[in-house]
């Protein structure tokens, strides 16, 4: 694990080596450590972190950056439409780490973490249900929150909230 290098006074001239960990770029988000593995590195990095002591996968979710493609990412990462966000926790070191993996829109699939962290079963099903991202080798990839015959993936940005305009037909006079 390489530490973040000290900032040189004239950074534009001598570009310092970007911080990385387990071969993926590392960034800092409001003081929280974020790793950016690629889809291919994903399971390997999680396994390496598991060996390091991050034994609990606290949360696995996704974001659809269709309307905000210009979010800030390390320069060597190509932004894609979807991002899988995984939060890991190490009880021994009392540390958290976050992973953000880019998933393209034309091939929304990624490997499942079920064999490493069985607690991700329900979380990955929710991501599939809400975003349509499939997880390879997941034991039971079906909808979990919506009815099974629902069409569409609700949390995608091109899926409308479904707000029904309310017409107030009664003239409500002064409250008594």
Partner 1 sequence: MSIVDTIRAGNEAQQGLKPRSELTARELLREVGSVLRLSEADAAKLGDVPADPNEDQTMIINMGPQHPSTHGVLRLMLELRGEEVLRCKPIIGYLHTGMEKTGENLTFMQGGTNVTRMDYVSPLNNELVFSMATEKLLGIDGDIPERAVWMRMLLSELNRMSSHLLFLATNGMDIGAVSMMIYGWREREEVLRFFQKVTGLRMNHNFIRPGGVAADLPAGWRDDVLKLLDLIPPRLEEYDTLMTGQPIWRERLQGVGVITAQEALALGATGPILRSTGTAWDLRRDMPYLHYPEMDFDVIVGSYGDAFDRYAIRLNEVRESMKIVRQILDRMPGGDYRIQDKKVTPPPRARIDESMEALIHHFKIFTEGFKVPEGEVYTAIESPRGEIGCYIASDGSATPYRIHVRAPSFVNIQCMPHMLRGGLIADAVAVISSVDPVLGEVDR
Partner 2 sequence: MSLIKDVRNDGLGGLEHNVITARIEDLVKWSRSRSSWPASFGLACCAIEMMATGAAHYDLSRFGMEVFRASPRQADIMIVAGRVSQKMAPVLRQVYDQMMEPKWVISMGVCASSGGMFNNYAIVQGVDQVVPVDVYAPGCPPTPETLIHAIETLHQLIEDGHLMKRRAESGAGANVHVQEIPAGAESIPVLLGTR
Considering only 22, 39, 47, 98, the residue that binds partner 1 (CB under 8 A) is: 98
Torsion of CA 66, 32, 127, 75, to 10 degrees: 40
140/125 Cα distance (integer angstroms): 8
- Minimal distance in Å, beta carbon 152 to partner 2? 9
Is residue 173 near partner 2 by the rule CB under 8 A? no
Pairing between β-strand 82-90 and β-strand 95-103 as defined by DSSP bridges: antiparallel
Nearest to 32 by CA among 55, 59, 9, 51: 59
Total residues in contact with partner 1, by rule CB under 8 A: 46
Residue 67 within binding range of partner 2, rule CB under 8 A:
no
For the CB of residue 164, give the shortest distance to partner 2 in the complex, in Å.
Answer: 6
Nearer to partner 2, 14 or 161 (CB): 161
User: Cα separation of 37 and 44, whole Å?
Assistant: 9
11 binds partner 2 (CB under 8 A): no
Does position 167 bind partner 2 by CB under 8 A? no
C-alpha 90 chain-centroid distance: 19
Cβ–Cβ < 8 Å for 68, 130: no
Q: Which residues bind partner 1 (CB under 8 A)?
A: 29-30, 32, 55-59, 61, 63-64, 67-68, 71-72, 85, 87, 91, 94, 96, 98, 114-115, 117-123, 126, 130, 139, 142-149, 154-155, 161-163
């Amino acid at each position: 694990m390489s530490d973040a290098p000290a900032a040189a006074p004239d950074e534009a001239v001598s570009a310092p080596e970007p911080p990385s960990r387990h071969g993926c770029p590392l960034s800092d988000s409001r003081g929280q450590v974020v790793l950016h593995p690629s889809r291919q590195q994903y399971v390997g990095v999680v396994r390496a972190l598991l060996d390091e002591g991050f034994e609990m996968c606290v949360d696995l979710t996704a974001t659809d950056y269709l309307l905000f493609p210009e979010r800030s990412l390390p320069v060597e990462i190509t932004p894609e439409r979807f991002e899988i966000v995984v939060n890991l926790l190490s009880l021994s070191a009392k540390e958290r780490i976050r992973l953000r993996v880019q998933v393209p829109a034309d091939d929304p699939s990624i490997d499942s973490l079920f064999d490493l962290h069985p607690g991700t079963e329900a979380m990955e099903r929710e991501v599939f249900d809400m975003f349509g991202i499939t997880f390879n080798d997941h034991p039971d990839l079906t909808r979990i929150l919506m009815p099974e015959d629902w069409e569409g993936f609700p949390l995608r940005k091109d899926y409308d909230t479904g707000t029904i305009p309310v017409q107030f037909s009664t003239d409500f006079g002064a409250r008594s």
